[in-house]
Structure formats: structure tokens, C-alpha cells
Amino acid sequence: MNTDPLAKVIIDPATVIGTPGHIRVGRATNGRWWLLRHDNKPFLYRGVCALWMPADYTGGEAHQYRVLWEEKNGKNTDGLVRHCLDIIQASGFNALGEWATEQFWNRGLPFTILIPIREVRIESNITPGIPDIFDPLLRQAFDARCRITCSSQASSTELVGYYVDNEGSWGTMRRDFVWGQDTGPIIDHSNVIGKERLLLQIFLAADAKHPGALRAWEWVKARHGGNNTKVFQDWGITCNSPEEFRALDAQGLKLASKNYWDDHVAFTAFYVREYFRFTAETIRRYDPNHLLLGARFGGPPGMEMLQALDRRHIDILSWNCYQSTFYERCEELSVSTGMPQLNGEFSWASGHFLDWDRLMKLENFTAEEIAHCRKLGQATLEKAITHPNLVGYTWYKFCCNSAGPDQPHCGLIDAAGTESRFNSVLLSEINSRLEGIAVGTIQPKTD
């Protein structure tokens, strides 16, 4: 008797995205999206972030654990990898999330790779969160990184695909968003008009040394008769030149007119399409076989950004979530894009589940607080997996210090190698249920 909950999943071949013989994504005949292994078997991605153990790195708890392990066992890379993968799999995980160093790649588990466009040439960034995608030097640097990384992994049957950024700002961060404490809808950012400098203003106000600043001025003038004066008149501000505009921006100008909002939305679409077109084509130049996983959105990216996505240049929408509104986020993004989604980070070590200040100070929680975190954390994750567009989640993270093994926090182990029992026990239970929940044979627990 076949007890595999996925045995009856039937994938509609017309929906499958990707190259045969590699990991792909497709939708079942009941409407649910699944990742597909190289042998076409569906699977639910359950990953773990941050097996970050480079030999030349001296910080981070995972690396500290590597040093400790090697002091006891010698410098045996294969032994270390197998040991860490055993820890991950013991808690029911079947994949590696981001920031797993190369010694963990192609070792039996699906994995992802981040090629961070904002880090390949930092001086090309308009702001720390926004790369100047129009800068030829940035494009050359990204191409060089892809040539090395993508070419070396093009034949892998375990690589899921590539992220091209992590938690960039996109110039649309809502004013009331605080990491770990977001309570409002993520899609509509029109409420920030007059409160925030949005993407178009950020580009226009950038130093003229940035090619993107010049491109933005050319773009916006073309929408207003080729005349700067007409641009400013239409926006309702008193200004005579780009130089004066930069000065007003430095003094705190935040454009607020309806005409500016319309231009911002159109420019955002222009920027987003160029961003994903360029990154996709560059990756595809060196690896035509693996999935394009997008930019690992952190804060809310905004409707104006989501509506500009071109399905030719992104296969799976990826985003990080530390909120108890995990399912609701899936639904909002599904309504906006209809795309399959892969969660890049999730943990109950956030302000939605625990007192954030006490968590960061590694303070103990009471039995009642621990029970609340356990119940809400399980309910949040199990409910999220019921969403038909979600193909998996990623736990953040492998190694993290905490107040004690039975206290809630991030890691599966701490830097000394002590098992984080709260997480390992609870995640083992949840992970054993998720495929059954995804196919509807197990009911998710509630809070």
C-alpha cells in the first residue's frame, strides 16, 4: 500500500516551467503548485538557511560551530557536511536555503544560490537598497559573477535556482513598516505619497554620476513634452532645474501630487522590467537550466512593483516572512501576480510571536509565553502551507545562540553544538505533517 501523500498528485504538463532533467515547477490538476525533482516527482521545499562556513571567515555562529567541530574531528569537509545535513534532516528538512556555502552544494539536497546584484559593485547602488540597473559597470560586474557561478552549476540536478537580491527596498517601503511588526496590507503603497521619497524621486535626486539618474531625467522629461519646466509644473512644485531639484530633495522634499504618483508608478514598471530582464538574461546566458527565483523581497514591495513583473523573467516569486500573517501575505501576492511562491525565510523569532527586545537579549520566556509561541508558530506555518501557490518555506536559521535549549529562538543548534530542543522537536512535528496538509489529508492546527 502506497502511503506517500504525494502519490496522487497529478501535474498539468502545460503549466510546467523549467528544463527537463532539472528541478522545475508546475501546477497540479487541482490548482496547487509544486516543485518537481529532476525525475519529475513533486516535492514541498523545506529548507534551512545559513550554513555559512567559509574557511576564511571569522564570525557568525555557524562558522564558530565549524571551528569547534574541526577541533574535535579534524578538518574533514565531507564529515562536517554530512554531520550538518544529518542535523537538518533529523528535523524534517529536505533542502538548503540561502547562505549555504559551496561545500554543501550538490550533496544530496536541493539548494538555492544568491547572486546579489547590490553587492557585486556597491558603488553603483543609488541607495544601499536600490541598484542602478542602468549602470554599465554594474552590468559588467553582475555578468562576471554569473559567468563564474552559473556556468559551474548549469548541469546540477539539485540546484533549484537563483535569487538576484535579498530584501532590497525598491523605494516603496511603507512608512509604518517595522521589521517583525508589520500589521497592515503590503500591496497598496499610495498611502505613502507625501510621506516617503519613492523610487522615481530617489533616482531623480541621485548624484548625476549615476547613469540611472540621467536615465530617469530623460525618461520623465519624455513624458512631459521633453521639458524640465513642464515636469515641475505638472508636479506642482517650484523648481527650475535638476540641480535645484536635488537641493529641494536634500531639504526634505517629498513629492505628493497625483501627477507625480502616476509618473512614479510608470517609472517603477520601467525599472522593474529592466531589472528582471537584465538579471534573467544574464543568468540564462551561462545557465539555461535552472529557475529564476527573483529578489527575495523583505519589506512590502508594492502593487506598482508587483504589477510590472514579467513572467518571462521570473519563474517563482520569493519573499521572506516573520509574521503570523504568513498565509495572508501569500494570498495578497497570489491575487496580485498568480505566481508560484517560495518563502525565503521564516521563523517565530520575531515580534509577532515573542517580545522582540527580550528575544534579542537572550532572556528567558515564561512557560505560558513558550506555549503561546509554540501554538501560534505551528498554526502559522501549517496554515501557510495550505495556500496553493506556496511551494515551500525556509527556516531561518541553522545555528543561533539562545537563552537555552528549551527556549524559542532561531537555530537548530547553537554555536557550541547544543541542540535547540524547542525548535527541533516542534519543527520535526510540523515538517512531518506539511505534505499531508498540502494535499488535504491532514488538517492544519489552529491557534
pLDDT attached to residue 288: 98
Mean pLDDT (the chain, rounded):
92
| pLDDT, mean of residues 169-186 | 52
pLDDT attached to residue 171: 72
| pLDDT, mean of residues 403-416 | 95
Q: Write out the DSSP string of 133-199.
A: TT-HHHHHHHHHHHHHHHHHHTT-SSEEEEE--SS--TT---TT--TT---S-SS--GGGTTTS--H
pLDDT attached to residue 2: 61
pLDDT digit string (tens) for 7-32?
Answer: 899 999 999 999 999 999 999 999 99
Separation between Cα atoms, residue 295 and residue 166, nearest integer Å: 6
Q: Which residue has the cell 532539472?
A: 22
pLDDT digit string (tens) for 209-231?
Answer: 999 999 999 999 999 999 999 99
pLDDT attached to residue 188: 64
Cell of 110: 536541493
| pLDDT, mean of residues 59-80 | 90
| pLDDT, mean of residues 339-350 | 96
Q: Write out the DSSP string of 331-365.
A: HHHHHHH---EEEEEB-S-STTTS-HHHHHTT---
pLDDT attached to residue 18: 98
pLDDT attached to residue 193: 72
Which of 441, 437, 403 has its CA nearest to residue 423?
403
CB of 381 closer than 8 Å to CB of 323: no
Residue 1 confidence (pLDDT) above 60: no
Q: Write out the DSSP string of 232-256.
A: HHHHT----SHHHHHHHHHTT----
Burial call 281-295: b when 16+ CB within 10 Å, e when fewer: ebbbebbebbbbbbb
pTM score over 0.85 = yes
pLDDT attached to residue 177: 42
Ordered by where they begin, the domains of the chain are 1-43 (no CATH), 45-188+270-439 (3.20.20.80), 190-263 (no CATH)
Helix, strand, or coil here: 27? strand
pLDDT digit string (tens) for 244-285?
Answer: 999 999 999 999 899 999 999 999 999 999 999 999 999 999
Cell of 290: 535552472
Q: Which has the minimum average pLDDT: 7-11, 31-35, 42-46?
A: 7-11
